[in-house]
């Protein structure tokens, strides 16, 4: 950047002399805000700089109208009186993307925002992404912004960025009204092919059913605590699949246990269900947020719900111990399970759907599938998915390859990281071989060296 005398300079180690999506003034504002809020915490300052830059890039590329709609419920006014029970937890609230990702203070969601902006920035002047973004924004203009459609766009950008890193040309194919088209066209000097992207929901149908039962259990337990005016941290461990039929006997047992206000309890409902509870601060006693129990390890917990009364809105639970704000009636319920539902059949269904779409449009191409594993071990799942997919692809000669993107949230110490594990599979039964440049590009995961979103150097 140059000052009024034409001299170049950097701001606290960031080279912002090159122009990009963000202007120099916007970069300065992001830096100053982060430095003011983070003070001497360098890690927090870095995170705030990147998150601030990401949000500004998203606002400028998708437009202020989309951005405001996507974050419109983020700063909703707090209810004048607390709810009389926790049944509101059972009502599914569909939040727009920016609100959903920023609420709750989950580090992996901040990482998603930064990754989305990184893909936008990487592709902005290298592809026809501006047409893709305008097409997406127009569809969202007269309706509520869908998190599902946002995630689909997100995955297409991830695939496009992956292909660009592999040295391929990328073209976003405009949607047609009368027929379905593939999502991307990728090219090398040797030829081109098409990609159909399938972003899997974070939960399969079975996982959604189990999650719903867990939420019912947690809601009923929190209601009991509210009725009996007590506060506990309760862990429930299932050694089998969680079923709806378990709800009634489990709640009845916990109601009996909490009735006597024990300081601690450890009970088995049967050989497959274990319950533990620790009494927390007395009802309506004000305490510091530093004194509440630590959150469960997200890599192990099946489902988790907490509640506290505080004047601070949108409180960041994962940073609660550092906030030191007055709260009362803190309660939490965590559910653990050794049963892991299989995602393999869901993956095979996506392969079939994508295969059918490609056969009706381009006639051949590549299938790209993203799966969110959360805490599940990817190696075993990936092995099962590859074996099953390779068998299925024997019947699909028009499919040249499948690309698997396995997204996983990992916790290492105090750091929560969002990682993508990649595996490309070339279909040996294909009737049309890929150009060698494209085949080489999709065989290997291309490592991406993260640079600050404020850095526009090439």
Is there a domain that residue 324 lies in?
yes
Query: What's the pTM?
Result: 0.78
| Domain finish residue from 334, 366, 384 | 334
Is there a domain that residue 1 lies in?
no
| Domain finish residue from 334, 354, 384 | 334
Measured torsion, CA atoms of residues 145, 149, 155, 161, in degrees rounded to the nearest 10:
-60
Q: Which of 298, 292, 288 is nearest to 279 (CA)?
A: 292
Q: How many residues does the chain have?
A: 458
Q: How far apart are CA 256 and CA 163, in angstroms?
A: 58
pLDDT exceeds 60 at position 297: yes
Counted domains in the chain: 3
| Domain finish residue from 275, 302, 334 | 334
- Kindly report which listed range (48-57, 102-111, 276-285, 308-317) carries the lowest average pLDDT score: 308-317
393 and 311 belong to one structural domain: no
Q: Which tens digits make up the pLDDT trace of 150-207?
A: 999 999 999 999 999 999 999 999 988 778 889 999 999 999 999 999 987 777 888 8
398 and 410 belong to one structural domain: yes
227 and 81 belong to one structural domain: no
> pLDDT above 90 covers what percent of the chain?
52
Is there a domain that residue 45 lies in?
yes
Q: How far apart are CA 264 and CA 258, in angstroms?
A: 10
Q: What is the pLDDT of residue 8?
A: 34
Is there a domain that residue 345 lies in?
yes
Mean pLDDT over the full length of the chain: 85
Q: Can you say how many angstroms the Cα of residue 80 is from the centroid of all Cα atoms in its chain?
A: 31
pLDDT classification of 379: cutoffs 50, 70, 90 = low
Q: Which of 192, 195, 62 is nearest to 119 (CA)?
A: 62
Range of the domain at 270: 205-334
198 and 210 belong to one structural domain: no
> pLDDT above 70 covers what percent of the chain?
86
373 and 423 belong to one structural domain: yes
Is there a domain that residue 101 lies in?
yes
Is there a domain that residue 189 lies in?
yes
User: b or e along 92-127 (b: 16 or more beta carbons within 10 Å of the residue's beta carbon)?
Assistant: eeebbbbbbbbeeebbbbbbbbbbbbbbbbbbbeeb
Q: What is the pLDDT of residue 447?
A: 64
Q: How far apart are CA 96 and CA 310, in angstroms?
A: 25
Containing 197, the helix (H) or strand (E) segment is strand 191-199
Helix, strand, or coil here: 240?
A: coil
Is there a domain that residue 359 lies in?
yes
Q: Which tens digits make up the pLDDT trace of 87-133?
A: 888 887 788 999 989 886 678 888 899 999 999 999 999 999 999 99
Q: How far apart are CA 18 and CA 20, in angstroms?
A: 7
Q: What values do phi and psi take at 41, rounded to 5?
A: -90, 100
| Residue 211 DSSP code | H
131 and 32 belong to one structural domain: yes
308 and 364 belong to one structural domain: no
198 and 220 belong to one structural domain: no
Is there a domain that residue 159 lies in?
no
Task: Please provide the DSSP assignment of 281-334 as one string.
Answer: SPTT-EEEGGGSPPPPPTTT-SEEEEEEE-SSTT--GGGGGGT--EEEEEEEEE
Pick the residue with more confidence: 53 or 325?
Answer: 53
pLDDT exceeds 70 at position 235: yes
Kindly state the tokens that stand for 457: 């150097």
46 and 80 belong to one structural domain: yes
CA distances to 5, 85, 334, 416, 436 from 365, rounded to whole Å, are 55, 53, 44, 36, 14
Q: How far apart are CA 180 and CA 398, in angstroms?
A: 17
């Amino acid at each position: 950047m140059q000052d009024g005398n034409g001299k170049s300079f950097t701001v606290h180690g960031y080279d912002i002399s090159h122009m990009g999506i963000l202007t120099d003034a916007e970069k300065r504002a992001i830096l100053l805000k982060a430095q003011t809020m983070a003070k001497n915490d360098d890690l927090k300052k870095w995170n705030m700089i990147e998150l601030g830059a990401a949000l500004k890039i998203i606002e400028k590329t998708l437009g202020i109208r989309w951005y405001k709609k996507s974050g419109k419920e983020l700063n909703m006014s707090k209810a004048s009186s607390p709810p009389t029970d926790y049944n509101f937890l059972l009502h599914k609230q569909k939040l727009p993307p920016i609100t959903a990702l920023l609420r709750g203070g989950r580090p992996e969601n901040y990482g998603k925002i930064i990754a989305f902006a990184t893909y936008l920035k990487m592709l902005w002047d290298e592809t026809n992404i501006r047409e893709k973004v305008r097409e997406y924004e127009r569809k969202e203009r007269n309706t509520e912004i869908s998190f599902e459609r946002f995630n689909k766009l997100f995955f297409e950008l991830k695939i496009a960025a992956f292909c660009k890193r592999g040295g391929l040309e990328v073209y976003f194919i405009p949607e047609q009204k009368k027929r379905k088209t593939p999502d991307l066209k990728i090219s090398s000097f040797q030829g081109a092919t098409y990609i159909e992207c399938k972003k899997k929901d974070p939960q399969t149908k079975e996982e959604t059913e189990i999650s719903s039962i867990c939420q019912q259990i947690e809601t009923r337990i929190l209601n009991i605590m509210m009725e009996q005016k007590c506060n506990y941290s309760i862990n429930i461990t299932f050694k089998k699949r969680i079923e709806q039929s378990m709800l009634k006997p489990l709640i009845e047992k916990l109601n009996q246990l909490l009735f006597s206000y024990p300081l601690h309890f450890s009970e088995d409902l049967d050989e497959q269900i274990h319950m533990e509870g620790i009494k927390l601060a007395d009802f309506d006693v004000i305490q510091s947020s530093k004194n509440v129990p630590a959150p469960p390890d997200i890599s192990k917990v099946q489902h988790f719900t907490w509640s506290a009364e505080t004047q601070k809105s949108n409180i960041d639970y994962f940073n609660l111990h550092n906030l030191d704000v007055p709260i009362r009636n803190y309660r939490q319920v965590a559910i653990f399970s050794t049963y892991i539902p299989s995602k393999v059949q869901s993956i095979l269904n996506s392969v079939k759907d994508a295969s059918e779409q490609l056969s009706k449009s381009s006639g051949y191409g590549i299938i790209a599938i993203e799966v969110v594993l959360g805490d599940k071990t990817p190696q075993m799942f990936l092995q099962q998915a590859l074996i099953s997919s390779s068998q299925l692809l024997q019947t699909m000669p028009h499919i040249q390859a499948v690309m698997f993107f396995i997204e996983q949230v990992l916790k290492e110490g105090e750091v929560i990281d969002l990682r993508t594990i990649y595996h490309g599979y070339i279909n040996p039964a294909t009737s049309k071989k890929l150009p060698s440049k494209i085949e080489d590009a999709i065989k290997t995961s291309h490592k991406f060296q993260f640079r600050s979103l404020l850095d526009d150097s090439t």
